[in-house]
């Protein structure tokens, strides 16, 4: 049974988010509005954060648990054009707490000012920075929501192809993996999705990858090769516009011998996890992801 909080949250999103995420609102305005909306949420109890600089890249180090070496590289969502460490610090901290892992949340470069592969290069560079700090790849997980989920998958593919040690696992929340928007759910869920609309997403995709690279495997990892990737967990809402991205990812990963778990949540919308401070369904989802991260890490403390 759905919680009363989920009904209230759904109503709020349906009436508020479309006023921000649309093709008419300038991207700098979208960024400011999203940061203002999500950035005021406090970090969970017992968690602290400090800014760090990684070769000119702004990032936030979220201290959750100093007793183990488990670490989470979190790549925020925002269709590659918006989103920041401010908008996603609470969600990243809550996932870190669920996994008993410290978190590195990065402000990777955004389109349209910095097109593909700038964000991908930043994600890979941040992962390598963690390795240089002495963290073992087997204790690092990469997580991301929406575009951040697609970016996490693309980063793992690039790490594999360049021979860099792979992370313990990938934790993908409502991942956007196909910038060409070819999935069946783009049509079948067009009236169900309360957050996203195809016109806005196509504009964001064009800003990021241009007309010629939408199907590049490292921009749209749906078109990439998954063999040899680390274990993957996927969370997606049944009402999502990009539900097909997750379904096809899980099917292809399984066919390529990758350990994959997909959790399709009824009546849930895009990245409902960000409401974990209020909504029981979101808290439960983050706990599931946290348990998976712990189970895949060398450090079981």
* Active-site residue set: 146, 240, 270
Count CB atoms within 10 A of the CB of residue 49: 17
Distance of alpha carbon 116 from alpha carbon 121, whole angstroms: 9
Q: How many CB atoms lie within 10 A of CB 245?
A: 31
CA distance linking residue 71 with residue 104, whole number of Å: 8
DSSP letter (8 states) at residue 110:
-
- How many CB atoms sit inside 10 A of residue 247's CB? 17
CA dist 109 and 127 (Å) reads 15
Pairing mode, strands 169-173 and 57-63:
unpaired
**Residue pair 80/100 in contact by the 8 Å Cβ criterion:** no
Alpha carbons 15 and 27: distance in angstroms, whole number:
20
């Amino acid at each position: 049974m759905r919680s009363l909080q989920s009904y209230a949250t759904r109503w709020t999103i349906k009436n508020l988010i479309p006023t921000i995420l649309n093709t008419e609102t300038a991207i700098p305005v979208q960024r400011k509005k999203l940061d203002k909306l999500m950035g005021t949420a406090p970090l969970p109890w017992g968690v602290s954060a400090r800014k760090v600089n990684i070769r000119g890249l702004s990032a936030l180090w979220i201290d959750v648990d100093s007793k183990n070496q488990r670490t989470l590289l979190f790549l925020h969502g925002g269709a590659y054009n918006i989103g920041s460490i401010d908008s996603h610090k609470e969600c990243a901290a809550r996932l870190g707490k669920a996994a008993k892992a410290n978190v590195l949340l990065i402000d990777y470069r955004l389109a349209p000012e910095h097109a593909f592969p700038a964000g991908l290069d930043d994600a890979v560079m941040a992962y390598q920075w963690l390795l240089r700090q002495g963290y073992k790849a087997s204790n690092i997980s990469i997580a991301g929501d929406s575009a951040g989920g697609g970016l996490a998958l693309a980063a793992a593919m690039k790490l594999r192809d360049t021979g860099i040690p792979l992370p313990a696992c990938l934790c993908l929340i409502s991942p956007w993996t196909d910038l060409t928007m070819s999935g069946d759910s783009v049509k079948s869920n067009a009236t169900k999705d309360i957050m996203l609309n195809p016109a806005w997403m196509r504009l964001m995709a064009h800003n990021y990858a241009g007309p010629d690279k939408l199907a590049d495997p490292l921009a749209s990892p749906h078109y990439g090769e998954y063999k040899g990737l680390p274990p993957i967990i996927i969370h997606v809402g049944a009402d999502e516009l990009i539900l097909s991205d997750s379904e096809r990812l899980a099917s292809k990963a399984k066919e390529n011998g990758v350990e994959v778990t997909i959790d399709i949540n009824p009546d849930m919308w895009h990245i409902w996890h960000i409401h974990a401070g209020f909504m029981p369904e979101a808290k439960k989802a983050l706990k599931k992801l946290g348990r998976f991260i712990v189970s895949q890490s060398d450090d079981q403390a």
